[in-house]
Chain A
């Protein structure tokens, strides 16, 4: 069993991890043990970051990628949430949809990129389709699982208090699965970043993936690192946002 630690200790240990990595990186690059084409020094990466920021390249590409992710996730959830609820409620609907979604889920979404380009060209629709194919099956199956696992005592209690089948869905099932759905949303952001970066690397005129692909093509390794750190930082901040809001939206959940 893990022994609990204070938030400060947790933060200190996390900082030590980052400092160790930074020290090792500095040692390797400032001692010039490795060519800067393969691994640029922290100061060169910082410099590249500053140049991209000043030229407004980085903020623009971050916004483009982030907007694509948000749109993809929102649409995926709009489709997956009702699908998952119906699959969880009806065995027939589950039989109709679940095997199909499982099939799509086991195909890596990146496989659909060439197909999406053939069908829709290199554009926003192609990236949206890749995100939808990558996220919707996964989210729908998870939501169906949450519905199936709704505590039977809550359902029975609501029935004895006069709840109709419709009220059971809206007053019991949906409120009880919300925290798990919120957590799924958090995990989806990680998957969405992976998908959008791959889609942008394969073909895009904007976005962080395209920035990485172009920088790589011209051996601008420092720019590649700068973009990678920005993605990592955005992922970290998104994760933190979801964890922070979780405690505020669902104060009734056991910590």
Chain B
């Protein structure tokens, strides 16, 4: 369980303009939760707080009962921007975290093979990131996060810079990972259709400061296909969510 209690955040140099103010949330485990909100509403700040990369101005965030005081391997983060280390090839990027914690080489190799297969990147293990497409780079970033076996996977608009077609493929990929790995995924997006297609539950955020406007449990059956996006139920929810974001 991820608990957010009376969370507020402002940048030290701008104490009068809070990005988040008195936010309270309880996120259950083993679900795919989507945080939906417009650009600049503070969703990325919230995910950085959950990742432990920045500290709250007041309030706290607890994960599995323990207060988050810094980054941890239990909480993996996939960034919006391409974040692969350009001087390392795909294999070395994926095993970066394993090398830091001195995982035995044989185990590293086993995990590398497993996650390269899962992300369909086995033929590219010796490629440098500059030789990969945007979608492939984000798949490597996801493999790099998964290989450390985090309980909570945070995804900060990971497909924001991808073409629509690649974006759909990546959505399928996330659902596949979710089915196979049985992890809690906290996914940020401003794309309503993406949110509906992926989520077990959607929190709609509004800005200045960030607050929860609405919460929707999504009950579309799994496994999901893109046909779902053309059903009446999907359109109905989409309309409601767009309305929530507007007002």
When the two chains form their complex, are residues B128 and A251 in contact, meaning their CB atoms are under 8 A apart?
A: yes
> Which single residue of chain A is at the shortest CB-CB distance from B86?
A252
Q: Identify which of residues 144-196 in chain A touch chain B, using a CB-to-CB cut-off of 8 Å.
A: 153-154, 156-163, 167, 171-172, 175-176, 178
A161-B100, A162-B97, A175-B87 known; A254-B130 Cβ under 8 A: yes
In whole angstroms, how far apart are the Cα atoms of A175 and B83 in the complex?
15
When the two chains form their complex, are residues B77 and A160 in contact, meaning their CB atoms are under 8 A apart?
A: yes
In whole angstroms, how far apart are the Cα atoms of A9 and B72 in the complex?
54
Task: Check: A95 CB closer than 8 A to any chain B CB.
Answer: no
In whole angstroms, how far apart are the Cα atoms of A176 and B87 in the complex?
7
A156-B53, A252-B129 known; A161-B87 Cβ under 8 A: no
| A55 CB contacts on chain B under 8 angstroms | none
- CB < 8 Å neighbour of A175 from B77, B85, B89: B85
Give the Cβ gap from B146 to chain A, nearest Cβ, in Å: 12
- CB < 8 Å neighbour of B148 from A161, A253, A254: A161
In whole angstroms, how far apart are the Cα atoms of A89 and B195 in the complex?
40
| A153 CB contacts on chain B under 8 angstroms | 79, 81, 83
Task: Check: B71 CB closer than 8 A to any chain A CB.
Answer: yes
In whole angstroms, how far apart are the Cα atoms of A178 and B88 in the complex?
13
When the two chains form their complex, are residues B144 and A161 in contact, meaning their CB atoms are under 8 A apart?
A: yes
Annotate B112-150 by CB proximity to A: 1 below 8 A, 0 otherwise. 000000000000000011100000000001001100100
Task: Check: B246 CB closer than 8 A to any chain A CB.
Answer: no
> Which single residue of chain A is at the shortest CB-CB distance from B127?
A252
Task: Check: A250 CB closer than 8 A to any chain B CB.
Answer: yes
| A159 CB contacts on chain B under 8 angstroms | 53, 70-71
When the two chains form their complex, are residues B148 and A162 in contact, meaning their CB atoms are under 8 A apart?
A: yes
| A251 CB contacts on chain B under 8 angstroms | 128
| A252 CB contacts on chain B under 8 angstroms | 86-89, 128-130
Task: Check: B245 CB closer than 8 A to any chain A CB.
Answer: no
When the two chains form their complex, are residues B128 and A171 in contact, meaning their CB atoms are under 8 A apart?
A: no
In whole angstroms, how far apart are the Cα atoms of A162 and B51 in the complex?
12
In whole angstroms, how far apart are the Cα atoms of A163 and B70 in the complex?
11
| B101 CB contacts on chain A under 8 angstroms | 162
When the two chains form their complex, are residues B100 and A160 in contact, meaning their CB atoms are under 8 A apart?
A: no
- CB < 8 Å neighbour of B73 from A161, A167, A171, A175: A161
Question: Which 9 A/B pairs are nearest by Cβ-Cβ distance?
Answer: A161-B97, A252-B128, A157-B83, A159-B71, A160-B77, A153-B83, A175-B87, A160-B71, A162-B73
